[in-house]
Structure 1
Amino acid sequence: MPLHVYQDRKRLKWDNGFMISEHTAMMANEKKEREFIWPAKELMTKDEIDRILYEAKLKNRAVAIQKEEMNEEGLYSPDVTGKIQGYDELGVFISGQKVDYDEIRSVEFFEEKKWSDLS
């Protein structure tokens, strides 16, 4: 009985996009987050912003800050969330990102969900 030499299909077998379901679900979730339209929050006064930032720093609470800037489509970016890591005369540092005081449109306390929370 003659042996048949296996012919590898080379790239053909990989071009069909074999992906595991977890990866596909993750990509779909990221696309949904990118397409989400962040609504404009109520414009707060400087005193209201200062009061909430002061209390958040004092009590070590997380905040969600909506910046005044918009993207090229005229939509707001996602909120900057986290605990205040530091501050200077120009702004605050949250989650490794500096947010200048004059960029803040709205700030509110934020409840961080634990990774173990299934709800």
Structure 2
Amino acid sequence: MSKERDYYFEQYQDRKMKKWAGFYLSEHTAIIEQEKKRQPPEKKRQMSWAEIDEVLAQAFQNQVEVIIQKEELDGEGNYGADIIGRIQGHDELGIYVDSQKVGYDEIRHVHLH
């Protein structure tokens, strides 16, 4: 039986599967590098309600874009991506930044863009 096995490996010709393994590896490596570069947003200073109100009023009056960090954390304890846009309107519960509603109590930090 050993002779049959040796014969098989002597006659075996590679079908270039190594090429595909290398291709997968390079794609996998690229994805890992992208993940490393993607850093979670930094924790910004908690602003007082008076500071937040002042910045929001200024942005609304002058139609300037704002950058808002919400108080919510993801499953890993990181803050989400900043919300960037113009304030389109407001009500008693929050503001509308472009088409997204942000509650006043959700705002951790806001500054003009």
**Structure 1 position 95, deviation (Å):** 2.4
2:83 to 76, 80, 84: 80
Alpha-carbon distance change, 36 to 86 in structure 1, aligned in 2, over 3 angstroms: same
2:68 to 65, 68, 92: 65
Larger Rg belongs to:
2
Once residues 97 and 34 of structure 1 are traced to their aligned partners in structure 2, the CA distance between those partners, rounded to angstroms, is 27
Matched, 1:46 2:57: no
**Structure 1 position 35, deviation (Å):** 2.8
- TM-score normalised by length of structure 2: 0.68
- Superposed counterparts of 1:96-107, under 5 Å: 96-107=99-110
**Structure 1 position 46, deviation (Å):** 0.2
- Aligned Cα root-mean-square deviation (Å): 2.4
Once residues 102 and 95 of structure 1 are traced to their aligned partners in structure 2, the CA distance between those partners, rounded to angstroms, is 18
**Structure 1 position 34, deviation (Å):** 8.4
- TM-score normalised by length of structure 1: 0.64
Could you say which structure has the higher helix fraction?
A: 2
Structure 1 residue runs without a partner (length 5+): 1-15, 18-23, 111-119
Instruction: State the one-letter code of the partner of 1:40.
Output: K
Structure 2 residue runs without a partner (length 5+): 1-18, 21-26
Which secondary structure state, in structure 2, belongs to the residue aligned with residue 64 of structure 1?
strand
The number of equivalent residue pairs is: 85
**Structure 1 position 37, deviation (Å):** 1.3
